[in-house]
Amino acid sequence: MSIRITLSNVEYSRGTFKLAVDTPCTFAAGINYVVGRNGAGKSTALKLLATAVEPEKGSMIFTMLTSEEGAGMHRKQLSVEEARALMGFLPQHFTGYSDMTIERYLTCMAFHKGIPHRLVKAALEKWLMDSKLLELRKRKLRALSGGQLQKVGLIQALINQPRICILDEPFEGLDNQEKTFFKRVIYKLSHHSIIIISTNFPEDMEQGDQKSLFYLDEGKLRMYDEMAEVDSLPII
């Protein structure tokens, strides 16, 4: 089940800011990095891809390679609702529900994302143990440090192994060990899912196969063929 997101002649405005995709851009399975200076519109672009806001012009199309009797293999266009059902999203400033404990919040998110009830407890315990949050599971989100809250945000975005995973500055506030753990999870997921990551830090980006680079400059999004080109782009 190969999924793609294709943007064509997309425009979106908020106040004096305008996001524009003048040339077609396609996001496919693998890790897709969205980079640019602060204020370039990365968070707005990710909200658009997550269907949190709608384009004012142009098209954003989600398609899935599928096989149907009588039609063979073909690309099926997904509705917004169908695409959302396949998504995990970490916004730039994740808050969750501040009065909930880590355990309750992530349990609710797991149920909401369709994980069978009988599997949730074991899955959640493993996530909390691997991310060093197990001893804090009864703590409310409002009492967490920035790094602890970021880990909760990442878990809720990844817990159902989404086919489209959109992460805005996902490694903010994490130490090197925590970054390594979540990068390993994301890399494994990228073999069959679209991963879209925004970042300002080249050290958080990895070269290799199945990795694509998108650059935002003053609201204009363009795709680059080589990850190595990030070294020549102003992103700080």
Residue 114 lies inside a defined structural domain of this protein: yes
Q: What is the distance in angstroms between the CA of the first residue and the CA of the last residue of the chain?
A: 36
28: CATH: 3.40.50.300
Half-sphere exposure of 181 (CA within 13 A, CB side): 16
Position 53 scores a pLDDT of 94
CB-based burial, 45-81: b 16+ in 10 Å, e otherwise = bbbbbbbeeebeeeebebbbeeeeeeeeeeeeebeee
What does the alpha-carbon distance between residue 194 and residue 3 come to, in Å, rounded to a whole number? Answer: 7
The secondary element (H helix, E strand) that includes residue 214 is strand 211-217
> Does one domain contain both 152 and 201?
no
Residue 189 lies inside a defined structural domain of this protein: yes
pLDDT one-digit tens code per residue, 154-179: 999 999 999 999 999 999 999 999 99
What does the alpha-carbon distance between residue 123 and residue 29 come to, in Å, rounded to a whole number? Answer: 24
> Does one domain contain both 67 and 134?
no
> Does one domain contain both 144 and 166?
no
> Does one domain contain both 16 and 128?
no
Task: List CB contacts of 19: < 8 A, sequence separation 6 or more.
Answer: 10, 11, 12, 13, 41, 44, 45, 48, 219, 221
Residue 235 lies inside a defined structural domain of this protein: no
Position 107 scores a pLDDT of 98
Is 235's pLDDT higher than 90?
no
Residue 98 lies inside a defined structural domain of this protein: yes
> Does one domain contain both 21 and 57?
yes
| Structural domains in the chain (count) | 2
Instruction: Tell me which residue range forms the domain holding 130.
Output: 93-161
What does the alpha-carbon distance between residue 91 and residue 168 come to, in Å, rounded to a whole number? Answer: 5
Residue 224 lies inside a defined structural domain of this protein: yes
Residue 195 lies inside a defined structural domain of this protein: yes
> Does one domain contain both 32 and 144?
no
> Does one domain contain both 17 and 107?
no
Residue 234 lies inside a defined structural domain of this protein: no
What does the alpha-carbon distance between residue 226 and residue 114 come to, in Å, rounded to a whole number? Answer: 37
What does the alpha-carbon distance between residue 84 and residue 172 come to, in Å, rounded to a whole number? Answer: 25
> Does one domain contain both 157 and 168?
no
Residue 236 lies inside a defined structural domain of this protein: no
> Does one domain contain both 62 and 132?
no
Choice among 116-120, 136-140, 180-184, 213-217 with the minimum mean pLDDT: 213-217
Position 158 scores a pLDDT of 98
Q: In the structure, what pLDDT confidence band is assigned to residue 73 with cuts at 50, 70 and 90?
A: confident
Q: In the structure, what pLDDT confidence band is assigned to residue 68 with cuts at 50, 70 and 90?
A: confident
> Does one domain contain both 146 and 170?
no
pLDDT one-digit tens code per residue, 180-228: 999 999 999 999 999 999 998 777 787 666 688 999 988 899 888 665 5
Is 229's pLDDT higher than 60?
no
> Does one domain contain both 9 and 125?
no
> Does one domain contain both 65 and 131?
no
Percent of the chain with pLDDT over 90: 75
pTM score, two decimals?
0.91
